[in-house]
Amino acid sequence: MGAMGPMNGIDYDLAELQHHWGTAYAISHPEPDLWLAQRRDTRETLRTESADQLYRVILADYSARPVPR
């Protein structure tokens, strides 16, 4: 474990999304029930209420219009 201690579920979900999608989307969780992913090419922002929803929305968005990396 790092110096900050174990991750809670939200921190883990955020880290996972950033790890897998961070080169294409700026991903954040600024407040409860708000998850954001901003495309790095167009700056379009995807908004959902959960990490699972955000994953599905990112996947659909990227499948329809891949973000150049």
Q: What is the DSSP string of 34-58?
A: EEEEEETTT--EEEESSHHHHHHHH
Residue 64: pLDDT band (50, 70, 90) is very high
Q: Kindly report the pTM of this predicted structure.
A: 0.87
CA dihedral 22, 44, 37, 69 (to 10 degrees): -10
Report d(CA 16, CA 14) in Å as an integer: 5
Output the pLDDT for position 56.
98
Report d(CA 14, CA 51) in Å as an integer: 7
For the chain, the structural domain boundaries read 31-69
* Span 1-39, pLDDT tens digits: 344 556 689 999 999 999 999 999 999 999 999 999 999
Output the pLDDT for position 7.
67
